[in-house]
Amino acid sequence: PSIVIWTTTPWTIPANRAISYGPEIAYGLYEVTAMEEGLDFEPWAKPGDRLIVADKLAEDVFKAAKIATWTRLDDLNPSGLECAHPLAALSPGYGFSVPLLAGDHVTDDAGTGFVHTAPGHGADDYDVWKAHGHHEVPDTVDADGAYYDHVPLFAGLKVIETEGKKDKIGKFGAANKVVTEKLIEAGNLLARGRMEHSYPHSWRSKAPVIFRNTPQWFIRMDQPLSDDSTLRERALSAIDATAFHPAAGKNRIRSMVESRPDWLISRQRAWGTPLAMFVDKQTGQPLVDAEVDARILTAVTAGGADAWFETPDAEFLGQHDVSRFEKIEDILDVWFDSGCTHAFTLEARDPAHGYTGDRPSHWPADLYLEGSDQHRGWFQSNLLEGSGTRGRAPYDAVLTHGFTQDEQGKKMSKSLGNTTDPAVVIKESGADILRLWVALVDYAEDQRIGKQILQTTVEAYRKLRNTVRYLLGALDGFDETERLPYDQMPPLEKFVLHRLHELDGEVRAAYADYRFQDVVRPVLEFCSNDLSALYFDVRKDSLYCDRPDAIRRRAARTVMDEVFLRLTAWLAPLAPFTTEEAWTTRFPDGGSNCARVIPETPAEWSNPAEADRWAGVQKVLEVVNEALEAARREKVIGGALDAWPVVTGPADAFAAFAGLDAAEVFRTSGAELVHGADAVSVEVRLADHPKCARSWRRVPDVGSDPDYPELSARDADAVRFLDARRA
């Protein structure tokens, strides 16, 4: 009987060394009983032929072979069977046995249930061949795409064209046709036909490619090193000792290193970093000689990598017999080149290695950062070389980011016209806009950018910039004599200082973990909610109208100074141009803001009780603001200072207002809190008092000072103080 195999690459048949079968697939022995009639050609099968195929595929196979009827004779277990090569009858060069090997890659979805196995021309073929203890891999096709001279029947025949005109390169040669004809001659072709299927092509030239195994140089992952550990073990330990951002990166690179094969480091290219070594032709072992290595190093230092290829072998080998050694002219995998960068960019400037210049560095690096594809590339090559030569990774932490796409999530392409040019963004909006966009995206995933998305970033930037501008104006002339100690601070100031204490911890932790979103977003919310919507609005009256030495105004300016010092430090890495401008505007002789460190925040600023109080105040304030807005729409009042709201509610709702001026919190001229209802409600009454010409508040004491009949008592006192200071 014959085992039926199938292939889309007849040119690999000379390299066949085995047949793979699926251990879970049901196979049967079949006998041909009749062929189809009325055909234009004589089929290759004959009644009486016995064929072995997968049961599930038998009908398809027989139809392709024009077999009309058949009989299943028996089950068949392929394990342990051996076959003759299909070309054995034509040449003694194919007189070896072809074993059947169990392989998990074999399916009964298509074909015959058996896979022709040429270990020199396919990854699955190679793996199953090696897994069954076979080590010799035949070389059948040379680097020019032709059969080697030692290949029986087909010596020199082209498999694929690699030379000539551009339209010829990548075209298949005569091999497929000639091999098929030889199979017919040997009586071992059952059927043939045409089919469309995917086939590997060069990503650069778009020409078809073929697979061929060639001798290469490897770094072994599991060979014991000087301390009896293996490179794989060292690398896995180094991964466990490294911080990954995001954390999922650790599992990703760890699974790759756990299962990766030996590292293939040689390439056959026209130019690159050479594997600068000689190999003993008799033993196949590399020459290990310190004097030879020193001569190679001297030559390459003086003449670059080309010195290895251009210098006569004798100049390197010295007393060694030149005829005995082969110069290796393969080049290194470029990932090996990339993996040694730490040794030159970091160690060369490390004072621990004798560096005395003004740009010191240190090894290992604090952080490596690149795209998520580099778990397989740069991160891993540095990991392996660092672990192999220095016992650990050359970094303490690794950060990976996604890829930048357009607003619709599509890959950017000049041909599609959907690219975003950073230079254009910087020219139109400033570099800080681009930096803030980076800080605001979730870099762990692919991120999107475009005009609409950038507009959102611009709005966020304006909020930050306007906050800093307000602080610059409010702090004009502030000095240390005006600073107020914490124990004299009003409740509102203590609340803002508590928020600074909270934010300082969040910002430091976020920076430590490279969570830039968690720096910008909380700071933005602080600027919008705590500062702009509450603190600045409440303290605006005090800043403009209190006398300069008033406790409330001094407290406000002290707190605003602390806010300014922290905002400019927190945001310096993310919006350096804006914060530098703000810092040098306020402190022209204060040096660069980028050279500052975040100020320490006193522990006494932590005040959860004050935070709870203002959470309660905010609940009442929301109801009051809604009522004031409704009254404004209905033209009952022109502005909040025209109002004197009466707020009714349960006592516990007003407990937070103990020690506070409700009118100050509501930004109205006056207010009354009345206990007695289950829910908070507001009656907006008009402030029925004269209007202060300075603060615009309508309060009973307007005109109480005869020297300033149009002012409230507070404003009259402030103006008298200012007049006296100017006198």
Q: Give the span between the Cα atoms of 404 and 406, in whole angstroms.
A: 7
CATH of the domain at 46: 3.90.740.10
| 210 in a structural domain | no
Weakest-pLDDT range from 198-207, 271-280, 682-691: 198-207
Please give the tally of structural domains in the chain: 4
Of the pLDDT bands very low, low, confident and very high (cuts 50, 70, 90), residue 197 is low
Instruction: Single out the residue of 389, 393, 388 nearest to residue 222, CA to CA.
Output: 388
pLDDT in tens, 134-177: 888 888 888 888 888 898 888 888 888 777 566 555 577 788 88
Q: What percent of the chain has pLDDT over 90?
A: 61
Mean pLDDT rounded to a whole number for the chain: 91
Q: Pick from 201, 234, 262: which residue ends a domain?
A: 201
Same domain, 699 and 598: no
Same domain, 599 and 621: no
| 211 in a structural domain | no
Please tell me the predicted confidence (pLDDT) of residue 710: 96
Asked whether residue 235 carries a pLDDT value surpassing 80, the answer given is yes
| 173 in a structural domain | yes
| 212 in a structural domain | no
580-605 average pLDDT score:
96
Q: What Rg, from alpha-carbon coordinates, does the chain have?
A: 41
pLDDT in tens, 15-31: 889 988 888 888 988 88
Instruction: Single out the residue of 552, 495, 556 nearest to residue 526, CA to CA.
Output: 495
Same domain, 325 and 375: yes
Asked whether residue 231 carries a pLDDT value surpassing 90, the answer given is yes
Same domain, 630 and 669: yes
In the chain, what is the straight-line distance between the N-terminal and C-terminal CA atoms, in Å? 122
CB of 202 closer than 8 Å to CB of 33: no
Please tell me the predicted confidence (pLDDT) of residue 167: 56
Neighbours of 539 (CB within 10 A): 25
Please tell me the predicted confidence (pLDDT) of residue 418: 87
Asked whether residue 125 carries a pLDDT value surpassing 90, the answer given is no
Compare 415 and 609 and report the one with higher pLDDT. 609
Q: Pick from 359, 377, 400: which residue ends a domain?
A: 400
Asked whether residue 40 carries a pLDDT value surpassing 60, the answer given is yes
Same domain, 622 and 667: yes
Q: Give the span between the Cα atoms of 158 and 173, in whole angstroms.
A: 5
CB of 159 closer than 8 Å to CB of 175: yes
DSSP state of 201: B
pLDDT in tens, 543-559: 999 999 999 999 999 99
Please tell me the predicted confidence (pLDDT) of residue 129: 87
Q: Give the span between the Cα atoms of 63 and 472, in whole angstroms.
A: 87
| 209 in a structural domain | no
| 137 in a structural domain | yes
Same domain, 191 and 255: no
Same domain, 588 and 627: no
pLDDT in tens, 358-396: 888 889 999 999 988 899 899 999 999 999 999 999 999
Same domain, 565 and 656: no
For residue 219, the SS3 value is: strand
Burial zone of 542 (CB within 10 Å; 0-12 exposed, 13-18 middle, 19+ buried) = buried
| 411 in a structural domain | no
Same domain, 63 and 113: yes
Same domain, 135 and 36: yes
Q: State the Cα torsion 491-497-502-503 to the nearest 10°.
A: 130
Please tell me the predicted confidence (pLDDT) of residue 25: 86
Neighbours of 380 (CB within 10 A): 22
pLDDT in tens, 565-591: 999 999 999 999 999 999 999 999 999
Q: Pick from 548, 573, 606: which residue ends a domain?
A: 606
Please tell me the predicted confidence (pLDDT) of residue 169: 56
- What is the residue type of 370? E
Same domain, 338 and 246: yes
Please tell me the predicted confidence (pLDDT) of residue 486: 97
pLDDT in tens, 660-693: 999 999 999 999 999 988 899 999 999 999 999 9
CB of 711 closer than 8 Å to CB of 694: yes
Q: Which structural domain, as residue segments, surrounds residue 74?
A: 1-201
Please tell me the predicted confidence (pLDDT) of residue 585: 97
Asked whether residue 237 carries a pLDDT value surpassing 70, the answer given is yes
- What is the residue type of 175? A
Cβ contacts of 406 within 8 Å, gap of 6 or more: 412, 418, 419, 420, 448, 449, 450
Please tell me the predicted confidence (pLDDT) of residue 105: 86
CATH of the domain at 555: 1.10.730.20
Same domain, 243 and 356: yes
- What is the residue type of 142? D
| 418 in a structural domain | no
Q: Cα angle vertex 308, ends 304, 313, to 5°?
A: 150
Asked whether residue 529 carries a pLDDT value surpassing 90, the answer given is yes
pLDDT in tens, 249-265: 999 999 999 999 999 99
Please tell me the predicted confidence (pLDDT) of residue 161: 77
Burial zone of 532 (CB within 10 Å; 0-12 exposed, 13-18 middle, 19+ buried) = middle
Please tell me the predicted confidence (pLDDT) of residue 498: 98
Weakest-pLDDT range from 181-185, 295-299, 377-381: 181-185
Q: Which residues of 604-627 are buried (b: 16+ CB within 10 A; e: fewer)?
A: ebebeebeebbeebbebbebbbeb
CATH of the domain at 304: 3.40.50.620
Please tell me the predicted confidence (pLDDT) of residue 595: 94
Residues paired with 264 in a beta bridge:
218
Asked whether residue 207 carries a pLDDT value surpassing 80, the answer given is no
328-337 average pLDDT score:
92
